[in-house]
A and B are shown apart, each in its own frame.
Chain A
Amino acid sequence: MAGKKITITVKIWRQVGPETEGRFEEHRLEEIDPDMSFLEMLDVLNEKLTLAGRQPVAFDHDCREGICGMCGAVVDGIAHGPEEETTLCQLHMRHFRDGETICIEPFRARGFPLVRDLVVDRSAFDRIIQAGGYVSVNTGSARDGNTIPVAQNVAEQAMDAAACIGCGACVAACPNGAAMLFVSGKISQFALLPQGRPERGRRALAMVRAMDAEGFGNCGNERECEKVCPKGLSIRNIARLNREYLRAALMGDE
């Protein structure tokens, strides 16, 4: 059963390009179905803008089912909006009140230069991943799944870390613009498993070096990142990254 339609005002960031000045634009949207997702609401706005002969709002999205990590914006000061462990595409309009004004801004961080409107360039994450290098996995015909024993609890922890979809909300929410939660997830998922062990030291050193080079800030253990992470990654992963890096720095042989 469809709920009562709501009327909202969006105060949304518009910026033509990285070099131009940005500003907020206000739009009133009527007849918004509370069962719509946040991105569908933006689609409604864009239809309205297009019909009026104006440029639609640029925003990133792909799967719209919370698994690809493309979407993301800061809604009323919170990355991905007010619901916990929810990507922007999985946020629904029923969480907003009739008559509410919603402020929508791009992820802002030095490591994520703005491209247009709500779109930011998150390719720094790709370069950090590349810096991590390879994992030693034997190729050839499919191997028996249990050749390399992995304890259930360890596999679970690795899976929890691997749940990171690289959306960048952690950077957007970090008061210091740090990318620690993202990097720690990637480090953890490999460091926990036997397949990722051989290169763990080199990987930790290279990924932290890449992270620093991309202009992300220094972690202050503020814990904002884990609060906005749509996949619920814990800062225990950051503690693991701290251990991995310390171990590699002190005992690594390269």
Chain B
Amino acid sequence: MSWFIETCTSSLGKKYIMAVTGLLLGGFLLVHAAGNSSIFWGRNAFISYAVHLHSLGVLVNIFEVMLLAVFLVHVSTGLVLFLENRNTRPSRYQVERSAGGRTWGSRTMPYTGLVILAFLLLHLANFHFTDHDLPIADIVTPILSNPFYTLLYGIGMAALALHTSHGFWSLFQSLGINHPRYDRAIRFLAWLGCALIIGVFTCILLLMLLAGGSLQP
């Protein structure tokens, strides 16, 4: 067991944890985006998707608990890494310049992560910890047709776009998957995953803002 603890607490072990949990969370986001895209087919399609999902009963609860666990591990490991890395340079450089490796995504990882965390709390308060007497479409519509919420959700999406733009590529590197043979494929897949998730959610936001009140049945 000691090897397990040593591995998990080592610098590389923490990378593996971030990579594996990041991959799982990314997978969840893809499924979540695919499910929610049923709203493009109208109010009834969306409601029936939700009803089907919840007919899985206890499976949904098990899945939620697992997702929460993965999420907490990702956030807490990320925080540990952020705090540890903060004092690895005792004095700052007078001239701080990038040699060209960093991206907007990579340099903002901890901050976008925290924005996403705040966004998720709002998102759960809006749609999860709320009265579920009404059909889901009627809970979602009044909130998301409010431009104030479009703005808040837009900020959440922007943070998610930045975070995943680095994270989806980075997780492969952390797991040791980097080879000339499939370098391009991984970069493309990482980009595609990011674009799909952000694209679908942004379209839903715009749809609800512009036509939320008059969703076709």
Contacts and interface: CB of A to CB of B under 8 A. Distances in A.
- Is chain B a partner of chain A in the same complex? yes
Interface in B71-120: 81, 84-85, 87-102, 106-107, 109
A105 B109 CA distance: 27
Interface string A47-71: 0000000000000000000000000
Contact of A223 (B12, B101, B177): B101
Nearest to A179: B11
Given A177-B89, A242-B173, A222 B97 contact: no
Interface in B1-26: 3, 6-7, 10-16
Contacts, number: 133
B174 interface: yes
B179 A105 contact: no
Nearest to A225: B101
28 contacts: A76-B97, A77-B97, A108-B89, A110-B87, A110-B88, A110-B90, A175-B102, A176-B85, A177-B85, A177-B88, A178-B88, A209-B10, A212-B11, A218-B81, A219-B12, A219-B15, A221-B169, A221-B173, A225-B101, A227-B99, A227-B101, A236-B179, A236-B180, A242-B15, A243-B176, A245-B10, A246-B12, A252-B3
Interface of B: 3, 6-7, 10-16, 81, 84-85, 87-102, 106-107, 109, 166, 169-170, 173-180
A78 B100 CA distance: 10
A117 interface: no
B198 to A, nearest CB: 20
A224 B98 contact: yes
9 tightest A-B contacts by CB? A77-B97, A223-B101, A177-B88, A243-B176, A217-B88, A77-B95, A239-B178, A227-B99, A242-B176
